Amino acid sequence: MKKTMIEIVLLLLAAFSPALALPAGAMVDEGILDQVQGQVQIQSPDGAVRPAQAGMLVQGGEIVETAVQSSARILLPDESVIELKENSRIEINDSRANARAISSVLLYLGRIWADIASSQDGDTAFEVITPSAVAGIRGTVFSAGVGIDGTTRVGVEKGVVEVEGETGSVSVKAEEETSVELGSAPGPVSPYRRGEDEWRQWANARQQVLMRRADEFPGLIARNVRTTQGRFVAQAAELKREQRRWEAYERRQRLRGREVRVTPAVKREVIRQFREMYRLSRQLQRADNRMMAGDYLVQRLLQDMQAHPDQYSPEFRAKLRETRQELDALDLPRIHRQNLALLDASATGLEEAVGRLNLNPELRRRIEGGRRQRLEELRRQPLPQRLKQNQP
């Protein structure tokens, strides 16, 4: 059977990382469900689905999804809170994939409200990846939504959010908002129109925009997925090269063993190499997020098309089916599982080396181990006062 470029790169990386197969329980605890209302489910990377209940831990790579008139609240180890609104779907990312171990989520569709704890250095404390944007949050109260056409809307109540689209970025401050369409830069910043009714009107408007762009939308999704797939292949190959450089340097400097002596110059070089590997891991995670977000948008559109066929032209229905066939040929769910295994193998190796060489302070890691214990402690405690004041 002919292998895709991604499979070839993953096989090469497997030679470097023997732990590429993803064992049960390998992923890291990233949050705990504090509240569950209505119908909420959790999907694991292998596709198994279970009903969500308050007190359940959520691991990296798992998906949380709400139905109509349903919601879920997730606590993060740093006391941040994410509230998933109705008809919404997020994936919790593995925080070990970035140097500072900050939490991030992929918002496929729907809306979240979040209160993110500030980082001590004022740097990015949380990320939201969507089909059309990346939002970097610095100790902020904000909402983010994704419409059926893949457009992202970010509204800020407190703090600052840096919103990056395909071709540009913008800073969104308190009481401001912006929107980002697929393949575009963020739109102009404008006053934030808060409230549930405003968000519903925005979501309905995205459906109307989709109808106006019906001729181009399926092809745009397919191009975005192919482009992101190409980026993943290139970045995975680059990560492999960096990992080989690190292995050679580690042997040369004899950085394994009971009596490791790390000079200041060696430590600086190790940190430089680690930051580069973390940068590539983070880019790979974003690329994987974008691929799966595009795949899910097509899936949801097909479901909506089957439920309301009169709302879609015959030409749009034909193009959407062609796009679905093109994406099915790529077998993205299987590639996604392989990507998660790759990221887990890379993160596990980096985590071990960071701990062994005592580099957590230099890398300014946000949470240093003990995630499960920390989450269970948070679950037993009342919400911090700042969260009670900021809740919608």
> Coil, strand, or helix at residue 7?
helix
Q: Do 40 and 181 belong together in one domain?
A: yes
87: left (phi over 0), alpha (psi -120 to 50) or beta: left
Question: What pLDDT score does 103 carry?
Answer: 92
* CA neighbor of 134 nearest in space, from 199, 185, 72: 185
CB 89 within 8 A of CB 119: no
Residue 376 pLDDT level (bands cut at 50, 70, 90): confident
Residue 51 pLDDT level (bands cut at 50, 70, 90): very high
Q: How large a percentage of the chain has pLDDT more than 90?
A: 54
Q: 111-120, 162-171, 263-272: which range is least confident on average?
A: 111-120
pTM: 0.90
Q: Does some domain include residue 44? A: yes
Q: Do 230 and 159 belong together in one domain?
A: no
Q: Does some domain include residue 9? A: no
Residue 16 pLDDT level (bands cut at 50, 70, 90): very low
Q: Does some domain include residue 383? A: no
Beta bridge partners of 103: 126
Residue 368 pLDDT level (bands cut at 50, 70, 90): low
Q: Do 77 and 44 belong together in one domain?
A: yes
Q: Do 162 and 230 belong together in one domain?
A: no
Q: Do 33 and 181 belong together in one domain?
A: yes
Question: What pLDDT score does 138 carry?
Answer: 85
Q: Does some domain include residue 388? A: no
Residue 333 belongs to a domain with what CATH number?
A: 1.20.58
* CA neighbor of 287 nearest in space, from 346, 375, 225, 228: 228
Q: Does some domain include residue 82? A: yes
Q: Do 243 and 334 belong together in one domain?
A: yes
Average pLDDT of the chain, as a whole number: 87
Q: Do 117 and 229 belong together in one domain?
A: no
Question: What pLDDT score does 316 carry?
Answer: 87
Residue 33 belongs to a domain with what CATH number?
A: 2.60.120.1440
Q: Does some domain include residue 231? A: yes
Q: Residue 19 pLDDT more than 80? A: no
Q: How large a percentage of the chain has pLDDT more than 70?
A: 89
CB 144 within 8 A of CB 135: yes
Q: Does some domain include residue 372? A: no
Q: Do 262 and 329 belong together in one domain?
A: yes
Q: Do 170 and 318 belong together in one domain?
A: no
CA distances from 64 to 105, 127, 150 (A): 10, 17, 19
Number of domains comprising the chain: 2
Question: What pLDDT score does 25 carry?
Answer: 41
Q: 139-148, 279-288, 373-382: which range is least confident on average?
A: 373-382
Question: What pLDDT score does 261 carry?
Answer: 79
pLDDT tens, 215-272? 788 888 888 888 888 888 899 999 999 999 999 999 999 898 767 778 899 999 999 9
* CA neighbor of 375 nearest in space, from 13, 27, 79, 68: 79
Q: Do 171 and 41 belong together in one domain?
A: yes
Q: Does some domain include residue 378? A: no
Residue 7 pLDDT level (bands cut at 50, 70, 90): low
Which among 144, 179, 194 is the end of a domain?
A: 194
Q: Do 296 and 346 belong together in one domain?
A: yes
Stretch (H or E) spanning 161: strand 152-164
pLDDT tens, 305-345? 888 888 888 888 898 999 999 999 988 888 888 888 888 88
Mean pLDDT for 346-355 is 89
Kindly state the DSSP code that residue 20 receives in the 8-state scheme. G
pLDDT tens, 123-134? 788 999 999 999
Q: Do 119 and 68 belong together in one domain?
A: yes
Q: Residue 158 pLDDT more than 90? A: yes
Which among 145, 160, 194 is the end of a domain?
A: 194
Domain that holds residue 61: 29-93+98-194
Joined together, the tokens standing for residue 197 give 């009714």
pLDDT tens, 63-115? 999 999 999 999 998 889 999 999 999 999 999 998 888 899 999 999 999 99
